[in-house]
Amino acid sequence: MLSFFSKYKFFGAVLLMLSSVIIYLFYNALQPQKMLPVYQPSMVDPTLVDSTLHYKKKYHKIADFELTNQNGKTVTQENYKDKIYVADFFFTTCPTICPIMTKNMAEIQDAIMDDDEVMLLSHSVTPVIDSVPQLKKYALEKGVVDRKWNLVTGDKKQIYELARKSYLAVKTDGDGGAYDMIHTENFILVDKERRIRGFYDGTNREEINKLLEDLKTLKASYAE
């Protein structure tokens, strides 16, 4: 009897291993695939959204834009065509949250350096102060890689409208003063269709990790 079991124990072990693999594959196949939400204005804190959009429940996309980057080059939505990107709002003389946000954005840049599908876009909320030379100086100090990350300045009204009506990321649309837009710490994840897929606290380490995980999920949705 013992010799019988000894003879077939190898086959039993193989059968057990195959059964475990099959069960694992079936389990994973039955799990619902993680999907990121598509954010609409009605899903966001109303204080961050222009009043004309409070009740918009579908079809929200980032509007066309034309701004100038740290190298004096024109940047439009065409530079981000078929790209996933992370956007934020900052200003170079900000002494509080901006240095932390920029440091964390630089870490994201490192993570996506070899990924041609992903880029970064930072908008100055003080475009008059943040001239091209000022942005270039800041970019060099912070390790900005031009092909991955645009720091943009330009028409103040356009930037404010993008912030309020497209990215849903600031708490006022400006009153004409130099510091009249209260930008948030939000990093905004935008997909290839120019839709918002996530908001993250750009000063929070755990939120940055979540953004990077969500980025993987979003990329995987395009690989199917």
Return the beta strands (E) in 132-218 as ranges.
149-152, 186-190, 196-201
Helix (H) or strand (E) holding 147: none
How far is residue 151's CA from residue 120's CA, in Å, rounded to a whole number? 9
Q: Which segments are annotated as binding site for Cu cation? A: 94, 98, 183
Question: Are residues 198 and 87 in contact, defined by beta-carbon separation less than 8 angstroms?
Answer: no
Q: Which segments are annotated as binding site? A: 94, 98, 183
Say if strands 118-124 and 66-68 run parallel, antiparallel, or are unpaired: unpaired
User: Residue 128 class from Cβ within 10 Å (0-12 exposed, 13-18 middle, 19+ buried)?
Assistant: exposed
Nearest to 83 by CA among 212, 213, 190, 220: 190
Helix (H) or strand (E) holding 175: none
DSSP 215: H
